Amino acid sequence: MRWIWIDKFVEFDSGRRAVAIKNVTLAEDYLHDHFPGFCVMPETLMIEGMAQTAGMLVGEAGKFEEKVILAKVKKAVFFDYVQPGDTLTLEAEIESIAAEAASTKGTIRSSQKHIAEIDLMFSHIDRNLAGKQFPEENFVFTDTFESLVRGVLSGAYKGASAPAKEGAQ
C-alpha cells in the first residue's frame, strides 16, 4: 500500500515551483489516535506531504528518468496545528538542482494561517548508488503519483497529452 499525502496539484511550474492541496478529514484513520479528543495531523505527515510535493517537482524536472528519494530534512519548523476540516496548501520551490541531488524550500498554509516551513534535500539514487541494482520500473514515481500532475502540466512529461476537453475535436 502506498500513502499519498496530497490530493492534487493546483500549480506546477516545471523545474521551479509546485503548489499542492491536502484536505484533512476525519475519514483518515490516523487522526482518531492522534490525539483522542483533540485530533491533529502529525507533523511527520506534513513533512511527508511536502516531500511528495517537492519530490514530484524534482522528479518532473528530470522527466521522471531518475528515482528521487528524500535524503535529508534540512529544516522543519511548525507554527500551528492542523485539524480535520482544514485544507492545506503546500508550496515547494527548487533552490538548486544537479545531476546527483536537489534542494527545495517549502511552506504550508491553511487559509490565512502559516503552518510550517520545510526545506528538504533529495537524492537521485540511480546516479548516486552506482553498481546497485534497482528494478526497471520507477518505484518512486508510480502512475498514481504521476496522475496528480497530469491536469496541470498539459502534456509536458513522458510524451503524455493533456486530458481532452469536453466537446473538443
List the catalytic residues. Answer: 34
Residue 39 CA to residue 49 CA, distance in Å, equals: 18
Q: Please list, in sequence order, all residues whose beta carbon lies within 8 angstroms of the beta carbon of residue 98, skipping any fewer than 6 positions away.
A: none
Residue 101 CA to residue 121 CA, distance in Å, equals: 7
Query: What residues are paired with 90 via a beta bridge?
Result: 20, 108
Nearest CA-CA partner of 119 in 105, 101, 103? 105
